[in-house]
Amino acid sequence: MLTREQLAQLGEHLRGTCKQIGAAVEELEMGDDVDETRLEADLLEVDTELCVQCGWWHEVSELQYSEQEGGGLCEQCCDELGVEFQ
């Protein structure tokens, strides 16, 4: 279980990359017993979200929710999929 501060640090570390959560946690030496699914949800609270299409981390506001894709899409993926980006 990470503190809010660690979570923010983790989010910062992930944004702009396509790293696995577990790998990032390891790089930051925040422990090796992490629940990635849980962390992925927690990361939303520190403005960090995964684009479901390309797997890169973005700020939540940078993603467009797509019902069809079942998650947030970055602008580039919206372009590729022909989804309107607002």
Q: Which residues bind Zn ion (CB under 5 A)?
A: 51, 53-54, 74, 77
To Zn ion, the closest distance from the beta carbon of 63 in angstroms equals 8
Q: Which is nearer to Zn ion, 25 or 74 (CB)?
A: 74
State the DSSP H helix or E strand holding residue 57, giving kind and residue range, or none if neither.
strand 57-58
Shortest distance, position 72 Cβ to Zn ion, whole Å: 8
Structure tokens at 76: 């580039």
Smallest distance, Zn ion to C-beta of residue 86, A: 15
Which residue lies nearer to Zn ion by CB, 7 or 77? Answer: 77
Which is closer to Zn ion, CB of 48 or CB of 53? Answer: 53
The DSSP letter of residue 79 is H
| Alpha carbon separation from 60 to 24, 29, 36, 49, 53 (Å, rounded) | 19, 25, 18, 5, 14
